[in-house]
């Protein structure tokens, strides 16, 4: 059950902090999730302390941590400090979409729409080639956020806005979802207008619930060749699951495609290692040779933030590590 009350969020944050102490290799992801729960619990100063703790070390993505810290600070009255952090992030021009997304949404939330639009535009021109149509999954949300901000500013559509429309697959068009006039219709006495607005809101709520119901990707386990060799040498009972390394890669891609065709969202791939698998088996009081343990292990890795979204863009390296692009490797026909 998802946390719904401040007390639930505090409890979940405490659990994540204990897990971070148990799994130091995943400390950054777990502390970020703990900080998010503390923010939802209203414990923003404590969340800020976690962000400071992460920044005092060497986080994998310091710009993302700074962006989250700025968003948190602004929410509880430290606007000047938050603005200074955001300006520093924009000046550093991050090469990842996540900090740009947080910065843009923070500025939008506080009615800094011109600054939000400028930040999103800088991000897209930095992250994506001109006239790009193959948008990485992590960047698609930023394209949509920019579309919403520009609608609020009553700006005409440009190339990125058209791309946002193309990426949007819900029944209600993106232009309607982001139309500022929708707010006016909520006060209308016309039953037809109210009914139309309820339909739009249900569409948004449905997408939001879907995202909440799957906080972690549906993950499929990938064993790199050296790890698979070690696994099968130690536990030959698993050879029926992995007859050869090539078959393992083929089955992995096929499984993901089947899930995608069935409409399963948020698919991902998690890399397995023999030591962590053996530790997981020990924590479950069972033997690593038990095949039903494998999907449980994959789910646990995904819950610890170790999943990579699938599919990758066709022009990016394939998930298998071959060095070829996904389109030329497992993403081909």
DSSP string, 212-240: HH-SS-EEEEE--HHHHHHHHHH-GGGGG
Is residue 187 domain-shared with residue 241, that is, in the same domain? no
Is residue 232 domain-shared with residue 160, that is, in the same domain? no
Question: What's the confidence (pLDDT) of residue 299?
Answer: 83
Question: Residue 236's domain spans which residues?
Answer: 218-309
The answer as to whether 106 is a domain residue is: yes
The answer as to whether 1 is a domain residue is: no
* Residue 100 · residue 119 · CB < 8 Å: yes
**Cβ partners under 8 Å of residue 92, min gap 6:** 63
The answer as to whether 40 is a domain residue is: yes
Question: What's the confidence (pLDDT) of residue 212?
Answer: 42
Tokens 């099968």: give the residue: 232
Q: Which of 158, 181, 213 is the last residue of a domain?
A: 213
Exposure letters 137-156 (e unless 16+ CB within 10 A, then b): bebebbbbbbbbbbbbeeee
* Residue 304 · residue 312 · CB < 8 Å: no
Residue 311: cis peptide before it, omega within 30 degrees of 0: yes
Residue ranges in the chain assigned as alpha helix (H): 6-22, 27-40, 44-56, 62-75, 79-92, 97-109, 113-127, 137-152, 159-167, 174-177, 182-185, 191-213, 225-234, 245-261, 274-283, 293-303
Is residue 171 domain-shared with residue 280, that is, in the same domain? no
CA angle 161, 209, 211 (to 5 degrees): 60
The answer as to whether 183 is a domain residue is: yes
Question: What's the confidence (pLDDT) of residue 256?
Answer: 92
DSSP state of 315: T
**Cβ partners under 8 Å of residue 172, min gap 6:** 199, 200, 203, 204
Is residue 247 domain-shared with residue 183, that is, in the same domain? no
* Residue 265 · residue 215 · CB < 8 Å: no
Q: What is the pTM of this model?
A: 0.59
The answer as to whether 322 is a domain residue is: no
Q: Which of 195, 213, 231 is the last residue of a domain?
A: 213
Is residue 59 domain-shared with residue 200, that is, in the same domain? yes
CA dist 33 → 56, 79, 108, 125, 298 (Å)? 18, 23, 23, 29, 19
Is residue 108 domain-shared with residue 163, that is, in the same domain? yes
Is residue 282 domain-shared with residue 151, that is, in the same domain? no
Is residue 171 domain-shared with residue 208, that is, in the same domain? yes
Question: In this structure, what token pair is assigned to residue 193?
Answer: 């207008």
The CATH number given to whatever domain includes residue 28 is 1.25.40
Tokens 């739009």: give the residue: 200
Burial class (CB in 10 A: 0-12, 13-18, 19+), 68: buried
Strand order in the sheet with 267-271: 218-222, 267-271, 308-309
Is residue 129 domain-shared with residue 113, that is, in the same domain? yes
The answer as to whether 331 is a domain residue is: no
Is residue 85 domain-shared with residue 106, that is, in the same domain? yes
The answer as to whether 119 is a domain residue is: yes
Listing DSSP states for 272-303 in one string gives --HHHHHHHHHHTTS-TT-TTHHHHHHHHHHH
Is residue 257 domain-shared with residue 117, that is, in the same domain? no
The answer as to whether 15 is a domain residue is: yes
Question: What's the confidence (pLDDT) of residue 216?
Answer: 52
In the chain, the number of structural domains is 2
Question: What's the confidence (pLDDT) of residue 166?
Answer: 86
Biggest alpha carbon distance in the chain? 72
* pLDDT tens-digit map of 34-45: 999 999 889 999
Is residue 136 domain-shared with residue 21, that is, in the same domain? yes
Low-confidence ranges of the chain (pLDDT < 70): 1-4, 130-133, 181-190, 193-194, 196-198, 200-217, 304, 333
CA dist 272 → 22, 196, 214, 294, 324 (Å)? 18, 48, 21, 10, 21
């Amino acid at each position: 059950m998802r946390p719904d009350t401040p007390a639930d969020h505090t409890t979940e944050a405490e659990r994540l902090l204990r897990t971070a102490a148990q799994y130091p290799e995943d400390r950054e992801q777990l502390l970020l999730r703990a900080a998010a729960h503390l923010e939802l619990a209203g414990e923003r100063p404590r969340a800020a302390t976690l962000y400071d703790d992460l920044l005092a070390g060497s986080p994998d993505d310091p710009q993302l941590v700074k962006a989250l810290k700025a968003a948190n600070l602004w929410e509880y009255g430290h606007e000047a400090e938050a603005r200074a952090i955001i300006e520093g992030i924009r000046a550093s021009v991050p090469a990842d979409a996540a900090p740009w997304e947080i910065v843009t949404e923070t500025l939008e939330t506080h009615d800094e729409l011109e600054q939000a639009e400028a930040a999103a535009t800088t991000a897209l021109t930095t992250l994506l080639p001109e006239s790009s149509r193959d948008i990485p999954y992590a960047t698609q949300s930023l394209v949509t956020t920019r579309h919403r901000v520009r609608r609020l500013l009553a700006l005409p559509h440009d190339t990125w806005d058209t791309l946002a429309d193309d990426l949007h697959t819900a029944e209600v068009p993106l232009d309607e979802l982001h139309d500022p006039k929708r707010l006016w219709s909520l006060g209308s006495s016309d039953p037809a207008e109210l009914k139309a607005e309820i339909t739009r809101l249900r569409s948004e709520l449905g997408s939001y619930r879907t995202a909440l119901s799957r906080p972690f990707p549906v993950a499929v386990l990938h064993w790199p060749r050296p790890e698979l060799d070690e696994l099968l040498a130690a536990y030959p009972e698993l050879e029926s699951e992995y007859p050869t390394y090539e078959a393992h890669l083929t089955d992995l891609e096929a499984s993901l495609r089947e899930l995608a065709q069935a409409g399963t969202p948020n698919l991902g791939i998690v890399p397995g290692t023999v030591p962590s698998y053996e530790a997981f088996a020990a924590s479950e009081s069972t033997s690593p040779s038990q095949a039903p343990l494998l999907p449980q292990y994959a789910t646990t890795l995904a819950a610890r933030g170790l999943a990579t979204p699938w599919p990758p863009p066709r022009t990016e390296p394939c998930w298998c590590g071959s060095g070829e692009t996904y389109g030329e490797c497992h993403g081909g026909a």
